[in-house]
Amino acid sequence: MAAPFELSDDSVVVIIGTGAGGGVLANELAQKGVSVVALEAGGRYLPEDYINDEWDSFGQLAWLDARTTSGDWRVAKDFSGLPAWIVKAVGGTTTHWAGASLRFQDHEWKAATNYGPVQGASLLDWPIDPREMDDYYTKAETKLGVTRTGDRAGLPGNNNFKVFEAGAKALGYTEVHTGRMAINSANNDDRLACQQTGFCFQGCKWGAKWSAAYTDIPRGEATGNLEVRERAHVLKIEHDDSGKVTGVVYADADGNQHLQKARIVCVAGNSIESPRLLLNSASSMFPDGLANSSGQVGRNYMRHMTGSVYAVFDKPVKMWRGTTMAGIIQDESRHDPSRGFVGGYELETLALGLPFMAAFLDPGGWGREFTTALDSYENMAGMWIVGEDMPQETNRITLNHDVKDQYGLPAPNVHFDDHPNDIAMRNHAYKQGMAVYDAVGATRVFPTPPYPSTHNLGTNRMSENPRDGVVNKHGQTHDIANLFISDGSQFTTGAAENPTLTIVALAIRQADFIAAEMGRNTL
Amino acid sequence: MTASKKGLTRRQLLSRSVAAGASLVVGSGFVAGNSATWAMGVDHLQPATMATLIQMARDIYPHDHVADEFYAIAVKGYDSADSAPMIEAGIAALDTAAQGKGHASYVDTGWERDRVDILRGIENSGFFQTIRGGLVTGLYNQKDVWPLFGYEGESFSKGGYLDRGFDDINWI
């Protein structure tokens, strides 16, 4: 039940984007009695709408607006118009995510201190004490129903996990289990238990996986304090002569533009669109874009060091059956520079259906080397590599004035060069991942290159010193008190872990801060 | 299915066509498998061009257990007024390349390794990359192809795999 607020109502908090950051923040504020208008570029899709078909689902959910790429990363060659595989829908990429919900390790909050100087990297410590996050992580785990936290049991292992686990143990790894997953192992919080359907990436048709689309969003709406406007694409944030933001201009489903006034604006459009919006909101007062006195808006783009390892065996695996990512090896997530790189990585089970395997196993590949791999699709097992990548100032989102989106605004260009540390870590992870499968009799292994980014981070980063980043420890922009960043773009560093749990924990924490400041009339 | 049986007997069909490579025949306005289990009408492309395109598709993504019909379906969309000039030109260049290597034409190049060698020579061309890129979805996103690879597709309507073997591996 929507709570329609007037366009002219300048008492509302406007949140741009409804994913793990914006969707959670919207509900948390609404629960506290704060009036919220959430503007979502995409439409509303619920479990009954999701499609158990990779390309059809991609067409339904993916963010496909014009984007360009540059840099030496392989994605720029293989998928030049698709730097990221993220979602345009109410609930954002929480419809697509795999559900892996890991806390940062303590040392990762202070990467600059713990890793020391890394040439070419713009490492910083987060301006947050890890101990302060403990309670917020617990709240986030409870909200998401994360398995192996609280009293929630782990998920059962599927075929793909059993191969992965056996290989890991043969190799001597000890931290191997079915993951801490925001996927119910038993009915919980009005959501069903996992039915081992596969298709986690296509939206969970059982609702067993947590997504803001059918939890936080409707719960926020039920308070009467949250209005979600779908197919409302924000084009620009406006400000007054004092430099405070006053509202946002958005295009509705018919392309008609509206100005929604606001007391506070929170940007949560993912790490490509969020900095793009700040840059596209440049004015005579802020010629370099909003909140950009540091020049850091759009910089330090991180996407995690990723890759995959697939392996073929002489007998069937049927890896597509069951939970897509319920399997993890954590032994390599530690910081241990003796391996030749700083930071660490996780190995997580992963399966793709035949259509996506054809697209992603070896993009551009053809001939029998390629097709004999797919001939053994039924006998294939797979894992994903996700590790900490180095922030670099030159990896950044910029406005590409040569390419315009459907509203005539400059498209974002995503520039990324791998850092030598990223490459060293990836090579180590490929070697270990292939060894896992070799240990249980793989007849052929495939070190598969990165997919379009699902973890987009760091482009409005959090910093103690306003000179070094865009937002303070509350996600509040250093330059504009009533402008916040509420998504993964506020990440100072990426850590090795899948980012959603931390995005959710930070959103809960930010809601506490915003509500308290509003209560004190300081915002 | 865009390929269809024409209602001809095998003998009738073969009497109206000539061989195009090892497994295809072409006739006036159609391409067919030489076993006559399927035939596909062509409206904008020369039938011989379509036959060559089908062979090229197989040579790019060769799966010996996948019948020609599925490759034909994968490239059927190029039989349009918009695409035909590009395809005719690309296939003509392919035949020229084959002739440059001493073969009568691409489809008359008997060994796959020799056809692949010809394809390697044009793999950076826009024509090759268009055909290859299109096949990634055109071939592998055909639901009728999936069972040939063991892939089971949609599972929600069957209740997922919770009671249908999500953990049934027996050799690990």
> Closest Cα of chain B to A93: distance in Å?
21
d(C-alpha B12, C-alpha B33), whole Å: 13
CA distance B11 to A158: 51
Cα A84 from Cα A74, distance rounded (Å): 13
| Number of neighbouring beta carbons within 10 Å of residue B164 | 15
pLDDT at B7: 59
d(CA A66, CA A86): 13
Q: What's chain A's average pLDDT?
A: 97
Pairwise CA distance, residues A213 & A203, whole Å? 10
pLDDT at A144: 98
Is residue A188 less than 8 Å (CB to CB) from chain B?
no
Q: Which two tokens stand for residue A203?
A: 């939206």
In angstroms, the CA A445 to CA B31 distance is 39
Which residues of chain B are within 8 Å of residue A437 when distances are taken between CB atoms?
Answer: none
Is B165 near chain A, with CB under 8 Å? yes
Distant-in-sequence, close-in-space partners of A338: CB < 8 Å, separation ≥ 6: none
Q: Quote ipTM for the complex.
A: 0.94
Contacts of A395 (CB under 8 A, 6+ apart): A71, A299, A300, A301, A302, A415, A416, A417
Distance CA A29, CA B111 (A): 68
Residue in chain B lying closest to A163 (CA): B172
pLDDT digits (tens, 9 = 90+) for A174-214: 999 999 999 999 999 999 999 999 999 999 999 999 999 99
* In contact, A321 and A198? CB cutoff 8 Å: yes
Q: How confident is the model at residue B2 (pLDDT cuts 50, 70, 90)?
A: very low
- Identify the H or E element spanning A372: helix A368-375
For the entire predicted model, the pTM comes to: 0.96
For position B23, what pLDDT does the model report? 82
Residues 115-134 of chain B whose Cβ lies under 8 A from any Cβ of chain A:
116, 123, 132
Model confidence pLDDT, tens digit, residues B15-46:
888 888 878 989 888 999 877 788 899 999 99
DSSP code of residue A457: B
Q: With DSSP H G I counted as helix, E B as strand and the rest as coil, what are the percentages for chain B, rounded to 5?
A: 45, 10, 45
- Nearest CA to CA, how far is A22 from chain B (Å)? 29
Q: Where are the beta strands (DSSP E) in chain B?
A: 17-20, 24-27, 30-33, 39-41
Q: Mind listing the pLDDT tens digit for each residue in B116-143?
A: 999 999 999 999 999 999 999 999 999 9
CA distance A154 to A169: 18
CB proximity list for A465: less than 8 A, separation 6 or greater: none
* Closest-CA residue of chain B to A206: B156
What pLDDT does residue B20 have?
84
Whole-angstrom CA distances from B64 to A368, A374, B50, B70 are: 10, 12, 20, 12
Average pLDDT value for residue range B90-99: 97
- Cβ contacts below 8 Å, chain A against chain B, sum to 115
In this predicted structure, the answer to whether residue A1 has a pLDDT above a threshold of 50 is no
Angle at A131 between CA A127 and CA A135, to 5 degrees: 115
Query: Contact at 8 Å (CB) between A290 and A479?
Result: yes
Q: What is the Cα–Cα distance from A277 to B28, expressed in whole angstroms?
A: 58
